[in-house]
Amino acid sequence: MGHVSRCIGLIQQLEKNGNVILIACDSAQKSVFEEYFPSLLYLNHEGYPFRFNGKGNFEMDLVGCFPILRKRMSKEVEEVTTYLSQNKIDLIISDHRYGFRNDNTTSIFITHQLNLPVKWYASFIQKWHEKLMTKFNFIWVMDFDDNRLAGNLSKKKKGLPVDFIGPYSRFMFQENMMNQNGGEVLIASGPVIYAKQFVDEQLPFLNKDDAQVIAASSIEIPNEWVRVSNQWKAQDVVIMNASKIISRSGYSTIMDLHFLKKSFEMYPTKGQAEQEYLAKINRTSEP
């Protein structure tokens, strides 16, 4: 859903520039996108079959998923060809989906990670990553060209057609941010098994009188903490009113905080090298 979040701002800008947009997504993602773009055309497109065991072994989990991920990517290339044959499409934009491209249509790859935070024994993943990115005509990096938000992850690589397009967020076009007297807001995002762990860890430290919790509907939250609906736009109001955000250190959240300019506490998901690195380089908590 972090990819959904950051694509909302990008789609808003593309619409402002007069483009006709088709969104390829699964049913859960569509339910969110439709809150912001009820009149756009949607293509049913399934996600990647990631599997996480909840024990913090992210690299091994990804390595274990490698065969089914390759199979899904090959099928994805075929699906994009079908979309092109059925619709008038001039440009393909893929948010870090390696198979969402076509050799005969200009294809753009969006990422914040030109460099994956993998250990030496998994260096083949970085080489595979670079090889797959070269299949796209352009690479748009959601960071500033001084790498201030993603650090080494977004450092430019030789031989890659990279453009830095700056951060994107669904809050980026909010002309007037709301007051900041709404108390603390805990945002539980990422794979469900880890988001549930985060809620369980943080609830004992929150003030029941003014704190609120935002999480996916599949995560069980004690009734006394349920104060906002699962609709993203309703949650946006709570987030914009917050005095402090408590969250994981996912990159989409970091981009949101760049625009929200609020105090925050970030806690990386244990064992997820990317979040551990991002939490380390984005320590400033004052707006």
102-139: pLDDT as tens digits: 999 999 999 999 999 887 777 888 998 999 999 999 99
CB 52 within 8 A of CB 193: yes
CB 143 within 8 A of CB 170: no
Using pLDDT thresholds of 50, 70 and 90, give the confidence band for residue 205. very high
CB 4 within 8 A of CB 33: yes
Q: Is the domain 184-281 a CATH 3.40.50.2000 member?
A: yes
* Per-residue model confidence (pLDDT) at position 70: 75
Name the DSSP letter for residue 269: P
Higher pLDDT, 222 or 106: 106
* Per-residue model confidence (pLDDT) at position 66: 64
Q: Lowest-pLDDT range, 29-43, 57-71, 88-102, 181-195?
A: 57-71
CA angle, residues 52, 6, 282, in degrees to nearest 5 = 75
Name the helix (H) or strand (E) containing 7. Answer: helix 2-16
**Residue 56: pLDDT over 70:** no
**Residue 59: pLDDT over 90:** no
- Tell me the pTM: 0.90
CA pair distance 93, 165, nearest whole angstrom:
13
- Between strands 138-141 and 162-164, the pairing is parallel
**Residue 217: pLDDT over 90:** no
Using pLDDT thresholds of 50, 70 and 90, give the confidence band for residue 247. very high
Percent of the chain topping pLDDT 90: 65
Using pLDDT thresholds of 50, 70 and 90, give the confidence band for residue 225. confident
**Residue 204: pLDDT over 70:** yes
Q: Which tokens hold the place of 50?
A: 């990631």
**Residue 9: pLDDT over 70:** yes
Q: 3-state DSSP call for residue 138?
A: strand
CA pair distance 101, 78, nearest whole angstrom:
9
CA pair distance 213, 195, nearest whole angstrom:
12
Would you list the DSSP string of 148-211?
TTTGGGG---TTS-EEE-----TTTT-SS---S-S-EEEEE-SSHHHHHHHHHHHGGGS-TTT-
Using pLDDT thresholds of 50, 70 and 90, give the confidence band for residue 258. very high
* Per-residue model confidence (pLDDT) at position 284: 59
- φ/ψ of residue 96, rounded to 5: 55, 40
Using pLDDT thresholds of 50, 70 and 90, give the confidence band for residue 78. very high
* Per-residue model confidence (pLDDT) at position 47: 73
* Per-residue model confidence (pLDDT) at position 226: 77
**Residue 69: pLDDT over 90:** no
CATH 3.40.50.2000 in the chain, residue ranges: 184-281
* Average pLDDT for the chain: 88
**Residue 64: pLDDT over 80:** no
Q: 3-state DSSP call for residue 17?
A: coil
